[in-house]
Amino acid sequence: MAVNQSPMYQKAEERYRTATAPADKLAALEEMFRLVPKHKASEKLQAQIKQKIKTLREETVKAASRGSQGAHDPYAVPKQGAGQVRLLGEANVGKSAIVGALSNAKVVIEPFPHSTHAAVPGMALAEDVPIQLVDMPPVTLGAVDPMLLASLRSADALLLVVDLSALDLLDQLERPLTMLREARMKPVSTPTIEFGEDFDDADNAMLPKRVLVAANKCDLPGAADNFDGLKELSGCDLKMVRISAETKAGLPEMMNELFALLNVIRVYAKKPGKPVDKSSPFILPVGGTVHDMAAHVHSELAEKLKGARIWGGTVHDGQQVTAAHVLTDKNVVELHF
């Protein structure tokens, strides 16, 4: 059975074939894996792409440790959790403070600019779903490290942070967005990605990139009015949330918005005759099936799957379903082999 690939996948594949820098090759491969249809006919292709990603990452690490070829990539961070969200923004907007408030990451929080020089990952929770936040150095329009751009391109989503107390608040939003557009990334706040007609033009194709705007320092005087003004005057149609890394106000809502933006669901496993295990939910893309969940448990067991019982969502509690049944967020699944 053939695997029909989208134009976006074909362009990512072309970027992989023509790329010379390891970071660009890795970004293209990760984009190919995200875009390949997730069904039975594509399992072999998925496995091949995953193996190439693993091999390239290992080669990059070895090369950096030997110092014999290429430059060390200070922004390289292996993906973990339900998705990787890299923080984007200018100096002193509070990116490090956000990651520090939500995780155990060893971020550097200083009152002076440019205290972050490399990517610093931390694991944060959206309810019970782990999402990887990656603190990044500040960006300056017109002087952006190509490796930093490659890391933004490969992320599952971006959190664009602005400072509600800043005099240049509108510019803090527009400058990073301009940088993304100049790097041929199209900021969107929709979980599902649509590819425009411009994607047929290899020279001008824009890669849709999921972006959530976090307006930080909402605890300061005048922040509420500034937030309203930002939404009204920016002309930006991106989703915006008001937060404070200092008081942690709005951070749970921000994490829930990121979870929704990643376009994934969580499901819980239940062994026959046992209570449901909610300690480590399985993360699947929206549209994932019972068979997809079984493959996460064990690829060989998935081939023996006969069906499942489901609780929650659109079915009756304990209803028997087939392996092709599409799961919804917070389903409880009892697999039958």
Out of 10-19, 131-140, 196-205, least confident range = 196-205
Q: Mean pLDDT of all residues in the chain?
A: 87
Query: CA-to-CA distance for 63 and 58, rounded, in angstroms?
Result: 9
Pairwise pLDDT comparison (337 vs 261), residue with the higher score: 261
- Is residue 27 within 8 A of residue 75, CB to CB? The reply is no
Looking at residues 9-22, what average pLDDT do you find? 78
Most confident of the following: 2-16, 153-167, 193-207, 302-316: 153-167
Task: Report CA-CA distances (Å) from 76 to 72, 153, 157, 160.
Answer: 9, 12, 15, 19
The model's confidence at residue 204, banded by pLDDT at 50, 70 and 90, is low
Dihedral of CA atoms 255, 259, 284, 123 in degrees, nearest 10, equals -30
Type of residue found at 287: G
For residue 205, give every residue at least 6 positions away whose Cβ sits within 8 Å of its Cβ, in sequence order, or none.
11, 184, 198, 199
Task: Copy the structure tokens of residue 129.
Answer: 């779903």
Q: Residue 60: what pLDDT?
A: 61
Domain boundaries, the chain: 1-73, 74-261, 264-336
Residue 26 φ then ψ, to 5°: -65, -40
Query: CA-to-CA distance for 337 and 334, rounded, in angstroms?
Result: 10
pLDDT 10s digits, 109-154? 666 555 567 899 999 999 999 999 999 999 887 777 888 998 999 8
Query: CA-to-CA distance for 302 and 304, rounded, in angstroms?
Result: 5
Task: Copy the structure tokens of residue 77.
Answer: 């961070």
The reply to whether the predicted model has a pTM over 0.95 is no
Phi/psi region, residue 40 (left: phi>0; alpha: psi -120 to 50; beta: rest), is: alpha
- Would you say residue 85 has pLDDT above 90? yes
For residue 316, give every residue at least 6 positions away whose Cβ sits within 8 Å of its Cβ, in sequence order, or none.
none
Task: Copy the structure tokens of residue 255.
Answer: 């994490």
Q: What CATH superfamily is the domain 74-261?
A: P-loop containing nucleotide triphosphate hydrolases (3.40.50.300)
Pairwise pLDDT comparison (313 vs 88), residue with the higher score: 88
Q: On the CB side of 153, how many CA atoms lie within 13 Å of its CA?
A: 26
pLDDT 10s digits, 209-253? 999 999 999 999 999 999 999 999 999 999 999 999 999 999 999
Length of the chain equals: 337
> How would DSSP label each residue in 291-324?
HHHHHHH-HHHHHT--EEEEESTTS-TTEEE-TT
Query: CA-to-CA distance for 303 and 335, rounded, in angstroms?
Result: 12
Query: CA-to-CA distance for 110 and 67, rounded, in angstroms?
Result: 31
pLDDT 10s digits, 269-326? 999 999 998 988 999 999 999 999 998 888 787 888 999 999 998 889 999 999 999 9
pLDDT 10s digits, 27-55? 888 888 878 877 777 777 888 888 788 77
What are the helix (H) ranges across the chain?
7-18, 22-35, 43-66, 95-102, 146-154, 169-182, 223-234, 251-261, 290-297, 299-303
1-73: CATH topology is Methane Monooxygenase Hydroxylase; Chain G, domain 1 (1.20.58)
Q: Residue 215: what pLDDT?
A: 98
Architecture per CATH, domain 264-336, reads as: Roll (3.10)
Q: Residue 91: what pLDDT?
A: 92
- Is residue 319 within 8 A of residue 309, CB to CB? The reply is yes
Strand, coil or helix: what is 238? Answer: coil
- Is residue 301 within 8 A of residue 294, CB to CB? The reply is yes
